[in-house]
Amino acid sequence: PVVPATQEAEAGESLEPRRQRLQGAEIAPLCSSLVTELVVIWVLVMYLGQCTKDIIRWPRPASPPVVKLEVFYNSEYSMPSTHAMSGTAIPISMVLLTYGRWQYPLIYGLILIPCWCSLVCLSRIYMGMHSVLDIIAGFLYTILILAVFYPFVDLIDNFNQTHKYAPLIIIGLHLALGIFSFTLDTWSTSRGDTAEILGSGAGIACGSHVTYNMGLVLDPSLDRLPLAGPPITMTLFGKAILRILIGMVFVLIVRDVMKKITIPLACKIFNIPCDDIRKARQHMEVELPYRYITYGMVGFSITFFVPYIFFFIGIS
């Protein structure tokens, strides 16, 4: 939450901006707390949604009469729709986290939320994966989660960045949540998705901790808020395209390398046949470490390695 500069004196030290200065010059932020706070919300919403699915155990809509255009996730349960949950949580959180920090009319955010949410929700009905009741439940469940946990998001993000033992706590907590979710039901695609979400969240949180403690995470001083967007120039556009290309290539390389390492290693450690990778991954002993470690490194790369590369070559 952003507090106006006029209230800074009343708030005391709690409003001191989380920034570092190197050689007296303010460095452009390599990892915005807005992004890491959004990830905290995304992980929480998706994890609770996936676990709730496996507790309620409502099947997908029957086909016929539904025509299913997507069958890969047919083994998952249906209630609530986690797509509806993420499609609700992300746009609402983006508006809550950015309005007051950036200069833009609030009406833009109020238009974004229903458009984003409705497109995602309607797509799940169109694909035959969810009923209208699943969508409504996912939407209302997300509103409840945000109402309860959003006030604590900034505290969680601040803890992740500043606490001395934050990486150990982050890794241990996310791993424990992954083990718990794998015991809820037999293997399905949601097991791998849950481990992937938790691993990504842990990696991003650990990456933000490292960048903060290296003095590379900066928030602007309160008297500069709200910030105006930079003018769109060919130079800025070129940097953006270059950042996308470099970032995607680096992240894909990290994912492929970690995948080739973790799956055979887990199979070897737990004495599981590795001839059929798809079948081997249905074992918790393989799926959990593979997803958790691989996407943990992907998340760490997104918040540390890739932004540091951008900073090093001058395209931050």
- For the stretch 189-232, pLDDT in tens is 777 788 889 999 999 999 888 888 877 666 666 666 677 777 78
Q: Which amino acid is at 309?
A: I
- For the stretch 60-72, pLDDT in tens is 777 677 766 666 6
Per-residue confidence band for 75, with pLDDT thresholds at 50, 70 and 90: low
Q: Which residues of 220-246 are buried (b: 16+ CB within 10 A; e: fewer)?
A: eebeebeeeeeeeeeeeeeeeeebeee
Instruction: Report, as an integer, the average pLDDT of 11-19.
Output: 38
Q: Is the pLDDT of residue 57 over 60?
A: yes
**CA–CA dist 24, 150 (Å, integer):** 35
Q: Is the pLDDT of residue 5 over 70?
A: no
Please give the residue that has the higher pLDDT: either 269 or 28. 269
Query: Which one from 83, 163, 174, 283 is the annotated catalytic residue?
Result: 83
Q: Is 163 a catalytic residue?
A: no
Predicted pLDDT at 221: 64
Backbone φ/ψ region at 81: left (φ over 0), alpha (ψ -120 to 50), beta: beta
Q: Residue 227 phi/psi, 5° resolution?
A: -85, 145
Per-residue confidence band for 4, with pLDDT thresholds at 50, 70 and 90: very low
Instruction: Report, as an integer, the average pLDDT of 6-17.
Output: 39
Cβ atoms within 10 Å, residue 94: 17
Predicted pLDDT at 73: 65
Q: Is 283 a catalytic residue?
A: no
Residue 201 in contact with residue 167, Cβ under 8 Å? no
SS3 21: strand
Residue 103 in contact with residue 227, Cβ under 8 Å? yes
Q: Where are the domains of the chain?
A: 12-230
Whole-prediction pTM: 0.79
Residue whose token pair is 């983006």: 94
Predicted pLDDT at 290: 87
Predicted pLDDT at 18: 38
Predicted pLDDT at 146: 93
